[in-house]
Structure 1
Amino acid sequence: MKKSEKVLLGVFAFLFLAIIGGGGFMYAFNNYTSIREENDTLRDRLADMNLAISQGADWADKYGWLEEHCPNFTSRQEASAKLLEVITAEAEKKGISIGGKEFIEAARVLGPDGLPLEENLGYFDKATVKITLAGIQEQAFFGWLHALQQPQSFLGITRMQINPSGTNKTINAEVEFTQFYREKSAPKVSKAN
């Protein structure tokens, strides 16, 4: 073998080892960084799990309170009727006459299988009633809204539109009230032996 061939062979061997060694080094470095990232992710997940375990008693108390206080109705129609009853009773107390009443059907997005998508279901069921009022006093109107919207009743105002009627601080309003509840199954009727 000539000296120039030996030099070329040496250069080729050096380049070959540099390329293979560099590729191996990059492969090892990429694996090392991915393992490090996975360790960080697992460490964060473990911290979240430990936090959730330490707060378990608090969440159990919150769940117990929710089970005790959340209204239960057998259907949306029953919840809507009860909601309308509460709204009209409070309006009578405040001397407000309700112009129009309309039950609002909740829009459900259906999936490809024809069933409601799970992310749209949520934890609570809800019934909504739209009330239209004309020419009522502002003070009575806001007192009525304040009396109705109480956290412990799971009843809230989800949409409101107010327009001044032009005389004596009276307004025209359109308000949507929503009753959040949990749907319970109707009791089964059975024969007594």
Structure 2
Amino acid sequence: MKKSEKVLLGIFAFLFFAIVGGGGLTYAFRNYMAIRNENDSLRDRLAEMNLAISQGADWAAKHGWLEEHCPNFTSRQEASSKLLEMIAGEADKIGLSIGGKEFLDEVRVLGPDGLPVEESLGYFDKAAVKITLAGVPEKSFYAWLHALQKPQSFLGITRMQINPSGSNKSINAEVEFTQFYREKSTPKVSKVN
């Protein structure tokens, strides 16, 4: 072999090892970083799981309270009628006259199969009623709202619009109440032989 061939062979060998070695190092570095990121995510997941396990008794107690206190109705119509009875009863106690009552239908997102999408269902079912009041005393109105809205009853005000009526601190109002509940299934009747 000539000296120039040896030099060219040396340069070729150097370039070959530089390219192959550089590619190998790049591949190894990418794999190392992927494994490192996966270890970090697994470490975070393990910390979340340990936290969830340590809080298990608290969440079990909260679930027990929820099962004990959450209202159960067989249908949205039953829940709506009970909600309206409760609202009207509290209004009668305070002496408010309810002008308009309207049951509101729950808007559910339907999937391509025509069934409600699971994400839109949530944990609770809900019934809503819109109440219209005209010319009611402001103080009585707020006492009525305070008497109705209690976390223990799973009842809340989801929308409210108040306008002054122009005389004696009286107001016109439109209030939407929502009752959250869990729909209990009706027992199936079976034939006994």
SS at match of 1:59: helix
Q: Structure 1 pair 173/26, CA: closer, same or farther in 2 (3 Å)?
A: same
Question: Counterpart of 1:136?
Answer: 136
Please identify runs of 4+ aligned residues in structure 1 that moved more than 2 A. Answer: 187-193
Whether 1:180 aligns to 2:159 is no
Corresponding residue pairs, total = 193
SS at match of 1:8: helix
In the TM superposition, 1:114-129 aligns within 5 A as: 114-129=114-129
In the TM superposition, 1:28-177 aligns within 5 A as: 28-177=28-177
Normalized against structure 2, the TM-score is what?
0.97
SS at match of 1:98: coil
Question: Counterpart of 1:8?
Answer: 8
- 1:191 is displaced (CA, Å) by 6.0
Aligned partner letter, 1:31: N
Normalized against structure 1, the TM-score is what?
0.97
Could you report, residue by residue, the CA deviation over 1:38-89 in whole angstroms, capped at 9, with x for unpaired residues? 0010011001001100110000000000000000000000000000000000
Could you report, residue by residue, the CA deviation over 1:139-166 in whole angstroms, capped at 9, with x for unpaired residues? 0000000000000000000000001111
- 1:190 is displaced (CA, Å) by 5.0
- Unaligned runs of 5+ residues in structure 2 are none
SS at match of 2:136: strand
- 1:31 is displaced (CA, Å) by 0.4
Aligned partner letter, 2:156: G
